[in-house]
């Protein structure tokens, strides 16, 4: 779990960098599962460095990723920050190309949670490291960046920010409402994430979260021409009988992230 200082840093600035979370053996598993799953998911469109590839990682062939949401190194931090009823949402893998413009990962300030991002190669200021705008997960800065500054269309380097340089094994944790971007990178920047959502408590939060569910389906369709769902049937079967996963699945059905 986070120390008191890390907790205060996250709540104030919206992010924290956790060093050496994954071991060398775990990094080998992560790389192997990523490469195998990407090759299968994009057999119809092999990666050539011209566009980003993305895929969820819940399959039976990716046991490390499929069980990552329950990993206490991540889950305990999410619960510490957003309550014991947080919802485990997603593990995924990405192969990025080029810059990523300023944006946040939510449809509304009322829809939030935490993303744990980890890279399989060293990343720095000019090689694709995550850049964040401290405090932009909170009002009024969150909305000011969009409505008055036009951050989405701005030159990335023109917006004051903090660069979260990292090595393989490190994890960058940030609030989903936090504005973030990246510069440089390569034609194959491998990044994985593990995401938890706040369990909505108000009607405004629930409405925003349901809207996020709609956007999530659109995102999946945009990356994959073939019929694909985020939540693999093996993961949904909850083979280990995890009470936590059972609760997540029930809430995901309720909020229409999972449709039957």
Using alpha carbons, list the distances in angstroms from residue 197 to 34, 114, 200, 243. 23, 7, 8, 17
Q: Provide the residue count of the chain.
A: 260
Per-residue confidence (pLDDT) for residue 227, from 0 to 100: 57
Mark out the alpha helices in the chain (DSSP H runs). 4-13, 24-41, 63-66, 72-82, 141-147, 203-223, 233-236, 243-254
Per-residue confidence (pLDDT) for residue 225, from 0 to 100: 59
Give Rg (Cα) of the chain. 17
Per-residue confidence (pLDDT) for residue 228, from 0 to 100: 66
Per-residue confidence (pLDDT) for residue 221, from 0 to 100: 75
CATH of 4-254, one of 2.60.120.10, 2.60.120.620, 3.40.50.720, 3.60.15.10: 2.60.120.620
At residue 178, the 3 state secondary structure works out as: coil
Per-residue confidence (pLDDT) for residue 226, from 0 to 100: 54
- The residues pairing with 113 across neighbouring beta strands, listed in sequence order, are 197
The whole-number mean pLDDT for each consecutive block of 10 residues of the chain, a chain of 260 residues, reads 97 98 98 95 90 92 96 98 97 94 95 97 95 98 96 96 98 98 90 98 96 86 69 93 97 91
Per-residue confidence (pLDDT) for residue 56, from 0 to 100: 92
Per-residue confidence (pLDDT) for residue 229, from 0 to 100: 76
Per-residue confidence (pLDDT) for residue 10, from 0 to 100: 98
| Residue 111 contacts residue 208 (beta carbons within 8 Å) | yes
């Amino acid at each position: 779990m986070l120390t008191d200082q890390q907790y205060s840093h996250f709540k104030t600035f919206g992010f924290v960098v956790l060093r050496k979370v994954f071991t060398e053996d775990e990094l080998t598993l992560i790389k192997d599962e990523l490469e195998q799953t990407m090759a299968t998911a994009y057999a119809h469109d092999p990666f050539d460095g011209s566009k980003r590839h993305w895929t969820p990682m819940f399959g039976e062939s990716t046991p490390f990723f499929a069980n990552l949401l329950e990993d206490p190194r991540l889950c305990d931090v999410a619960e510490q920050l957003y309550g014991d009823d947080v919802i485990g949402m997603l593990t995924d893998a990405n192969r990025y190309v080029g810059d990523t413009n300023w944006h946040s990962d939510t449809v509304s300030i009322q829809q939030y949670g935490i993303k744990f991002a980890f890279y399989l190669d060293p990343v720095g200021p000019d090689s694709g490291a995550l850049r964040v705008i401290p405090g932009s997960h909170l009002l009024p800065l969150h909305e000011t960046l969009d409505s008055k500054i036009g951050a989405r269309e701005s030159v990335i380097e023109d917006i004051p920010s903090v660069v979260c340089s990292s090595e393989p094994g490190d994890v960058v944790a940030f609030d989903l409402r936090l504005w973030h971007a990246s510069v440089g990178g390569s034609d194959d920047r491998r990044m994985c994430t593990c995401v938890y959502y706040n369990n909505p408590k108000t009607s405004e939060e629930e409405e925003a979260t349901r809207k996020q569910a709609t956007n999530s389906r659109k995102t999946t369709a945009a990356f994959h021409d073939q019929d694909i769902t985020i939540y693999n049937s093996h993961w949904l079967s909850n083979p280990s009988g995890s009470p936590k996963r059972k609760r997540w699945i029930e809430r995901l059905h309720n909020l229409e992230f999972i449709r039957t």
